[in-house]
Amino acid sequence: MITESWYKSSGKEHNVEVTSTQGGRSLGKEYRTVSKPSPDPVDNWIARADSIPKYLDDAIRRKRDKRYSRPCWLVLYLNITEWDIRQSETEQMIANTKTRYANAFEAIFVLWKRRLY
């Protein structure tokens, strides 16, 4: 999912780039062939938590590397859950990643588990 939008606030227009990462999964693929519930062991939660920094960095870097002609806001949907196994560590990593890429965008917003960071 990649899209471009404009947002106007206080008389100023902002170019808004929107993207997402599903942690290497294809969006919606799991739901096309479901016949019965499948187990999701804790080991999977840990592996997903460990993968979040890579997928978040990859998604932001891809947008940064496009070198847009106008400054823009980046909105990224981080669609990877680890069932709160590493909640605080992931929140800190999101903050650090946003800081690392801060000079590439006017603002960076990460939507993760119904919260905007």
Enter the DSSP assignment of 25: P
- Per DSSP (E only), the strands in the chain are 3-9, 12-21, 72-78, 107-112, 115-116
113 phi and psi, to 5 degrees? Answer: 50, 50
pLDDT at 42: 87
Contact in structure between 21 and 2 (CB atoms under 8 Å): no
Side chain identity, residue 113: K
pTM for the full model? 0.85
pLDDT along the chain (117 residues), means of 10: 66 90 78 75 92 98 94 96 94 98 97 97
- Domain ranges for the chain, please list them: 3-116
